Structure 1
Amino acid sequence: MKFFNTYTRSEEEFTPISGNEVRIYTCGPTVYNYAHIGNFRAYIFEDILRRALKYCGYNVMQVMNLTDVDDKTIRDSKAAGTALDAYTKKFKDAFFQDLGTLRIEKAEFYPEATKHIPEMISIIKILLEKGYAYVGEDKSIYFSVAKFANYGKLARIDMENQRAGVRVKTDEYGKDAVADFALWKIWDENDGDVAWESPWGKGRPGWHIECSAMSMKYLGKTFDIHTGGIDNMFPHHEDEIAQSEAANGCRFVNYWLHCEHLIVNGQKMSKSLGNFFTLRDLVSKGYSGREIRWVLMGTHYRKKLNFTLEACAQAKATLQKFNDFLVRLYSVKNSSAQGDSAGEIVRKAADSFKAAMSADLNISEALAAVFELEHEANKLMESGKMGSGGAAAVLGQFKDFDRIFSVFDVAAADAGSIPAEITTLVEERISAKKNRNYARSDEIRKELQAKGWMVEDTPAGPRVKKIA
């Protein structure tokens, strides 16, 4: 497999640290509100990555953190008049429900920041001992970016033109405000009752130290892949690298994979523009998790994804078309039809699909392999050349596609498959139309209706449905 490593800005052959084992850390949600579709664009990318690695034979250990203490969770829990734990639990529960809706495989670990405070304190102690951290005038502990020679390498920041000694206590800040960042924030009245005891006094961790502590605990000091949205590159990931490598004296991560932004109708998503959607908003509009998944996975992760409601409607139609196709395949499979084994078209699709997913998750080429197989299989069915064994082979390949895509629901299509006698009539009607015997074609249509089935002629061939 090959991946584009953000750290080197180049595509590299993927080589895990330990044989067939791949250890991944993915930046999870800050649980101060419901996750929005921009967040889920990243989580779908990470799910496709995880599934593709497993598809290619790797064993995956994935850690996704839950940020349940930071500036935003404290701010909003106070505004709601609710204790931090109770406030964030609602959104943790909602997040896991949303993962299920989108068919995102569960990671092996979901560590919560509030349950790993001792690990964070241990790293801060090491950084102080090594001289990378210091106590600020406000008694908080800060990391000195000037002391870490490689600071700025991930985000490509020119450190020579930065002012030394500037400090920032907030969790988020821009590239134009590079500063010594907070590792431990001494308690103030804005924190309310959110605080832990430490050697430096009562306080709470900075956002960036949380991920270093949790990744190290579950994946070790150096691991294979770190993922996240492009917006996390700076300051979050840059600061993670600095504090982790300074504390441990070794490389933090071998491959950095970043997902581009999601925009809505060509614009940045915002509540003021009325184009801000949570997953629940879209479900309430009548779209299913698999339809939304289809839209979110359909653009390569390193390209901006322009999300529209029209794309959701198109996804609904596309997946219905695939469902009808699979139902037809099951009807042929369950018949005694003799004909093409479909071995060649299935082998070609399988090879193309795996090659695409191994090439930095080339989703466009992978989807092209899927559509090509559908097209070729439809041609065989329309001409009456598809054998029952061939239909079974194509169905098996679509199950294989779903190991990564998880949208086709191949087994469920069997419940809607068409009885053999109906399939025979449909095939006879196809033959009658080819021979211009339109009277017989109309008779068969009426016979089908009498048996509770309707047939629609489409460019892709006849579509047969049970009459409700």
Structure 2
Amino acid sequence: MLRVYNTMTRQKETFKSLTPNVVKMYVCGPTVYNYIHIGNARSAVAFDTIRRYLEFRGYRVDYISNFTDIGEKLARTAETENISVAAVAAKYIAKFNEDTNALNIEPATYHPRATENIQEIIDFIQDLIAKDDAYEVEGDVYFRARKFTDYGELSHQSLDRLEVGASQRTADEETARKEDPVDFALWKAQKPNEVAWESPWGPGSPGWHIECSVMASKYLGETIDIHGGGEDLAFPHHENEIAQSESHTGKKFVNYWLHNGFVTIGSDDEKMSKSLGNFVTAHEVLAKYDHQSVRFFMSATHYRRPIRYTEDGIEDALSEVQRFKIARANLLYRRQDATAGTDEAIAAAIAEYRAQFIEAMDDDFNVQNGLVVIHDFLREMNNYAAANTVKLDSIVDLVGQLEQFLAIFGLNLAQEDNLKSDIAALIVKRNAARAAKDYATSDQIRDELAEQGIILEDTPQGSRWRQQ
């Protein structure tokens, strides 16, 4: 039975979706003014891993993740790059898609943009004003946080404490316009040279928080199953989403709040952040390292735990991925001498490992315990690959189960099957040379293959290959 850790209650709860076999899931996406850094990518990977496991368990996941394509950050980039804000958004959405494709992150069911939903945002704000939950001041519109009695519940903070923090975060001029320092912006009046839309309060643009409330409800409904994002979004972003959404609909906004841990960097384990200038972009890392290893580096840690970014960590992930590839290749090699049928002992073992894996992952998506099961399963595969006799269906079943397990982590080992025909021919030629005891030719071919990144391993069952 699947249990998830709900940030709202600070405990694990049995997961039950609103609609049987369907999960409505919203995850906060990036502000598209630059390349995403590894910390941003970690959130995308974490919730893609969760999504993949839910699909493995038989759910259809309606997955929405937004693009924030307006705001001061995009305006600054537009000025620096001497292009329009719309061009900035288009450029970095394309870069986001390039990086997430390289990380084998499944596309969202839909990626709505803030600019596509301006009228819905205005309508939402008008309803809050009509209910006296929001007010307009000089073209700005603010939400009355104190009117929402549960404000601060998600972040477990009192309003008095939040008031002090809000006073420190907000410019004096803006604080003077608010009725209360804890009130937050729903609509912001246009400033010089800013992109703006007409509204009942004059030209302006949406506040950051309102866009997610609008898009979540528009595409998933007034109450959704899971809302995810980085732990830094719990306050104020998600806190504000709850207040404005539930004031608007009168219904519970989210049943389960899930937040992923940070990526840290440096000896002090400082949070990676563009504002701190200590970030490494996903684009840079993917240009330097094997893509599957980068993906596994991030997906092999429980989503709520922090990840310390180091090059050694990615190298370790590369070694682990290689182990999976070699075990798969070695077992597939035995197809040439396999007999027909199924080994009943192997069938029973596969069923047992699958049950153990589900038990591990049903505990709040505990990927680390799930990997313990996968490593045990790998030993089963390696033992079978070394057996004197093997059966074809059991080989297929073992490899298929490994691929299914690892697909949840975003790994696709089947791409290793795309061996060039000329390399395959050289391996066949070398095997023939070895059989004829022509070791000079055999060694020559081995060296030639090594230059192409192909490592050969000679075993009692024959020569096997792997790519460096």
Alignment TM class, shorter chain as reference: 0.7 to 0.9
Distance 1:320 1:444, change over 3 A: farther
Counterpart of 2:147?
147
Matched, 1:300 2:290: no
Retained in 1: the 8 A contact 2:272–2:279? yes
Cα distance in structure 2, aligned partners of 1:344 and 1:331: 23
- How far 1:110 moved relative to its partner? 0.5
Cα distance in structure 1, aligned partners of 2:144 and 2:322: 56
- The equivalent position to 1:325 in structure 2, one of 327, 330, 346, is 327
Matched, 1:348 2:349: no
Matched, 1:371 2:375: yes
- How far 1:320 moved relative to its partner? 2.2
Deviations 1:72-108 (A, max 9, x none): 2223323433221011111011011111100000111
Retained in 1: the 8 A contact 2:187–2:207? yes
Gaps of 5+ in 2: 175-179, 450-454
- The equivalent position to 2:395 in structure 1, one of 382, 387, 391, is 391
- How far 1:195 moved relative to its partner? 0.5
- How far 1:258 moved relative to its partner? 0.3
Which is further off, 356-365 or 242-251? 356-365
Cα distance in structure 2, aligned partners of 1:133 and 1:165: 21
Deviations 1:443-466 (A, max 9, x none): 6987964775875479xx997338
Counterpart of 2:292?
290
Cα distance in structure 2, aligned partners of 1:41 and 1:264: 13
Deviations 1:165-188 (A, max 9, x none): 977768xx9xxx962111111112
Which is further off, 80-89 or 34-43? 80-89
TM norm structure 1: 0.85
Amino acid at match of 1:313: E
Counterpart of 2:405?
401
Counterpart of 1:278?
281
Distance 1:393 1:245, change over 3 A: same
- How far 1:148 moved relative to its partner? 0.8
Retained in 1: the 8 A contact 2:26–2:65? yes
Cα distance in structure 1, aligned partners of 2:181 and 2:440: 75
- The equivalent position to 2:184 in structure 1, one of 166, 172, 181, is 181
Counterpart of 1:67?
68
- How far 1:413 moved relative to its partner? 3.5
Cα distance in structure 2, aligned partners of 1:305 and 1:372: 24
- Percent identity among equivalent residues? 35
Cα distance in structure 2, aligned partners of 1:272 and 1:127: 32
Q: Matched residue of 1:334: which SS?
A: helix
Distance 1:466 1:84, change over 3 A: closer
- How far 1:207 moved relative to its partner? 0.3
Distance 1:247 1:21, change over 3 A: same
Amino acid at match of 2:349: I
Cα distance in structure 2, aligned partners of 1:242 and 1:273: 29
Counterpart of 1:199?
200
Amino acid at match of 1:314: D
Amino acid at match of 2:361: M
Counterpart of 1:381?
385
Deviations 1:34-59 (A, max 9, x none): 00110011000110111111111111
Distance 1:295 1:127, change over 3 A: same
Q: Matched residue of 1:412: which SS?
A: helix
Q: Matched residue of 2:408: which SS?
A: coil
Cα distance in structure 2, aligned partners of 1:21 and 1:272: 38
Cα distance in structure 2, aligned partners of 1:271 and 1:17: 37
Q: Matched residue of 2:364: which SS?
A: coil
Distance 1:209 1:272, change over 3 A: closer
Retained in 1: the 8 A contact 2:75–2:194? no
Counterpart of 1:436?
none
Cα distance in structure 1, aligned partners of 2:219 and 2:121: 13
- 1:216-295 aligned at under 5 Å gives the runs 216-265=217-266, 266-269=269-272, 276-285=279-288, 287-295=289-297
Distance 1:93 1:166, change over 3 A: closer
Q: Matched residue of 2:46: which SS?
A: helix
- How far 1:406 moved relative to its partner? 2.9
Amino acid at match of 2:307: L
Q: Matched residue of 2:257: which SS?
A: strand
- How far 1:240 moved relative to its partner? 0.4
